[in-house]
Amino acid sequence: MKCPEIFLLLPTCSILHEDRNVIDLVLLLAVALTTLNESAMKTLKDYWSSMEAPMMSKHICMWKSALAFLLKANVWLTFIPGMKAVLEVLKYLYKCNKRVARSRKVPLSEFYVEEIGLSPPLLQQDVTLWRQLKWGQVQEGDNLPPVFCRYPFLLDLQSKINIFNYDAAITKITHSFIHDQVTAGLFQNLYTQAPTPIILLRLRRTALLEDVFRQLSYADHDNFKKQLVVEFVEDSKQTDVNKRDFFLHAFNELLAPESEMFMYNDTQTMIWFPSQPKVESKQYFLFGILCGLALNNSNIVHMPFPLAMFKKLVNMKPTLDDMIEFRPTVGKSLRCLLYDYTDDVIENMDTTFCVHWDGVNVELDPQEKGKPVISANKKEFVDAYLDYAMNKSVERVFEEFRRGFYKVCDRDVVEFFQPEELRGVMVGTEAYDWDVFRQNTVYDGQFHVGHPTIVTFWEVFEELTDEQKKAFLLFLTGCDRVPILGMEQVRMSVSVLPNSTQNHLPESLTCHCILMLPQYNSKERLQSKLIEALKHNRGFWRE
Ligand SMILES: *[C@@H]1O[C@H](CO)[C@@H](O)[C@H](O)[C@H]1NC(C)=O
Ligand SMILES: *[C@@H]1O[C@H](CO)[C@@H](O)[C@H](O)[C@H]1NC(C)=O
Ligand SMILES: *[C@@H]1O[C@H](CO)[C@@H](O)[C@H](O)[C@H]1NC(C)=O
Ligand SMILES: *[C@@H]1O[C@H](CO)[C@@H](O)[C@H](O)[C@H]1NC(C)=O
């Protein structure tokens, strides 16, 4: 088995993809592979890196099905020698795949092993063990089960979100659960129970940001990991509705030009950190805390940053694509400069290392003012431009932002996410699928799918404009964007508004996604009342 070519050949044999050969062949193969000597390993990695995508897929598939087989057989509680080796092999493949050119890359989703996410006890045990190892409460050792959290590339988005939530809730899991689910004394003395402490924000609606920033800046930093409770001075009910209301309006105010916190792209549709901040850098620290709180409290917020911001949060370097997203004209011309223009064209363009960014001129090479861009230094120019726009010019404020964000959220868990996923989880998507929305709706009390009011309601709903439908989603859920996992996540329940007359407006309970509808006696009335409700009622935020 010391000849590395064998490891390239075997995964293409279909018998190795069969369940009955997992224990006797695939696991042994994994162990043999992970114990290869350095030079054989190097040869193997070179082979992998030169593979075309379909072949790579075949390899991934074999190792994945072995893993899936073991997971389905429920053997993850016991220690199986080859299982860690399979995980390690997948990690090698993942790393090789990351390095190859885009055209030969296998999509990241091919690495997902859905079976990991299908078992909540597995995920919970895994998070627990992972945290214990992290804090040195359990020693590393050969007889521990594998820790999937160490292989986040295997986790699909739903699993990552679940892990994030377990990690957040872990102190609330009771001893009994652990004893039921998990063998050995491994998992004891972890959960010191105390009533969940809270961080309370008491705010005036009329001075929302001022109050938030003041209270956050006085708060003890240890408090940020606690449960958030929002109370409005005007009506001191403490509910989830307040929280959604709060995030919705706080972010709207933050992103408005009056807050002076961000720079915008020319169409004012995207924001970025400014190179000459007009407000104190502490504000960005507090903004980071707010974003962390929104994520930790599963609140989708409106935050039109380019992907670059989410890359930076998980320590990835922005690229030209990110510039193209934020400033398409600048980005595309840089791309042409790099790849399309001939040397002559470049010399004739008279471009210099002096660029205009966020309202000021910047010398990208401070050593040589007005240095011309020629084909020999075009790469240096593009790199310097990107580094200035996405890194240097925002370094101080971004660091403050990041510091605040990670005061609330757990860095290790956040870094599981790909930047696209993190953006999706935080800001939602615009994948409105109103058919799914309708199919998932349930009815309560007197209402049922064939009830005349319900039939009329859907007629009216279908006739709403796209904007009005979004306003309806906002009215219903407190947020007008779709959760990253899709419209399936929004399950409306419709019930009769108690004691209502023809003159009442429909109401909503945003925290439970309930629409409360009076039994109107005509379509016209239902339509006018619904539209009226959407117009001047943004959730429970009554002005
Ligand atoms: C601003 O960003 C949006 C989103 O990427 C883009 O569609 C738009 O073209 C940008 N506007 C300008 C003028 O750069
Ligand atoms: C960002 O800029 C700083 C200097 O301002 C530099 O030290 C650092 O390496 C840069 N980061 C990246 C990811 O290039
Ligand atoms: C999120 O908040 C909870 C309390 O609600 C806290 O226990 C936890 O540490 C935070 N979790 C993460 C992942 O940031
Ligand atoms: C509805 O009216 C009945 C009597 O007409 C009353 O007992 C009940 O409390 C009312 N319910 C609500 C929710 O106002």
pLDDT over 70 percentage in the chain: 90
Residue showing tokens 């904007």 = 467
> Residue 186 above 70 pLDDT?
no
pLDDT tens figures, 454-507: 999 999 999 999 989 988 998 888 778 888 888 888 899 999 999 889 999 998
Per the CB < 8 A criterion, the answer to whether 447 and 454 are in contact is yes
Residue 453 Cα distances to 238, 361, 440, angstroms: 33, 62, 18
Q: Are residues 217 and 76 in the same domain?
A: no
| Distance from residue 317's CA to the centre of ligand 2 (Å) | 10
Q: Are residues 413 and 285 in the same domain?
A: yes
Q: Is the CB of 396 under 6 A from ligand 2?
A: no
* In a domain? residue 327: yes
* In a domain? residue 384: yes
* Phi, psi values for residue 348, rounded to 5°: -80, -10
> Residue 191 above 70 pLDDT?
no
Structure confidence at residue 515 as a pLDDT band (50, 70, 90): very high
Question: In one letter, which amino acid is 455?
Answer: V
Question: In one letter, which amino acid is 155?
Answer: L
Structure confidence at residue 529 as a pLDDT band (50, 70, 90): very high
* Among the bound ligands, the one closest to the CA of 323: 1
Q: Is the CB of 235 under 6 A from ligand 2?
A: no
SS (H, E, C) 451-481: CHHHHHHHHHHHHCCHHHHHHHHHHHHCCCC
Per the CB < 8 A criterion, the answer to whether 127 and 148 are in contact is no
| Distance from residue 395's CA to the centre of ligand 2 (Å) | 8
- 3-state SS assignment for residue 313: helix
Per the CB < 8 A criterion, the answer to whether 141 and 158 are in contact is no
* In a domain? residue 542: no
pLDDT at residue number 238: 57
Atom 14 of ligand 2 has which residue's CA nearest to it? Answer: 387
Per the CB < 8 A criterion, the answer to whether 537 and 475 are in contact is yes
* In a domain? residue 173: yes
Q: Are residues 183 and 210 in the same domain?
A: no
Residue 338 DSSP code: I
Residue 511 DSSP code: G
Closest CA to 304 of 426, 184, 402, 418: 426
Q: Is the CB of 327 under 6 A from ligand 1?
A: yes
Domain that holds residue 116: 112-188
In 155-239 the beta strands, taken as DSSP E runs, fall at 198-203, 227-232
Q: Are residues 274 and 417 in the same domain?
A: yes
Question: How crowded is the C-beta side of 425, counted as CA atoms within 13 Å?
Answer: 26
Kindly report the CATH number assigned to the domain that includes residue 338: 3.30.2160.10
pTM of the model: 0.72
Per the CB < 8 A criterion, the answer to whether 490 and 482 are in contact is yes
Residues with CB under 6 A from ligand 4: 498-499
**Mean pLDDT, residues 211-222 taken together:** 85
> Residue 405 above 90 pLDDT?
yes
Residues 317, 71: Cα–Cα separation, whole Å? 35
Q: Are residues 382 and 478 in the same domain?
A: no
| Distance from residue 286's CA to the centre of ligand 1 (Å) | 27
Q: Are residues 440 and 478 in the same domain?
A: yes
Residue 317 CB: number of other CB atoms within 10 A? Answer: 12
| Distance from residue 257's CA to the centre of ligand 2 (Å) | 28
Helical ranges in 366-418 per DSSP H: 378-390, 395-408, 411-414
pLDDT over 90 percentage in the chain: 32
Q: Are residues 475 and 529 in the same domain?
A: yes
Q: Which atom of ligand 1 is nearest to the CA of 325?
A: 5
Q: Are residues 214 and 250 in the same domain?
A: yes
Closest CA to 91 of 69, 66, 118, 64: 64
- 3-state SS assignment for residue 508: strand
Q: Are residues 2 and 103 in the same domain?
A: yes
Domain boundary among 335, 367, 390: 390
Extract the tokens encoding 134: 């992290």
* Phi, psi values for residue 445, rounded to 5°: 60, -130
Q: What is the layout of strands, in order, in the sheet containing 442-443? A: 442-443, 493-496, 514-517, 507-509
Residues 255, 393: Cα–Cα separation, whole Å? 20
Question: In one letter, which amino acid is 426?
Answer: M
Most ligand 4 atoms within 8 A of CB, residue of 499, 504, 507 to mutate:
499
What is the chain's mean pLDDT, rounded? 84
Domain boundary among 77, 111, 145: 111
Q: Are residues 169 and 221 in the same domain?
A: no
* Among the bound ligands, the one closest to the CA of 166: 3
Lowest-confidence range among 129-133, 181-185, 197-201? 181-185
Residue 24 DSSP code: I
* In a domain? residue 342: yes
Per the CB < 8 A criterion, the answer to whether 44 and 95 are in contact is no
| Distance from residue 310's CA to the centre of ligand 2 (Å) | 17
Q: Are residues 525 and 507 in the same domain?
A: yes
- In the chain, the number of structural domains is 5
pLDDT tens figures, 305-361: 999 999 999 999 999 999 999 999 999 999 999 999 888 888 888 889 999 999 899
In 221-363 the beta strands, taken as DSSP E runs, fall at 227-232, 263-264, 271-272, 354-357, 360-363
Q: Which atom of ligand 2 is nearest to the CA of 391?
A: 1
Q: Are residues 276 and 415 in the same domain?
A: yes
Per the CB < 8 A criterion, the answer to whether 481 and 430 are in contact is yes
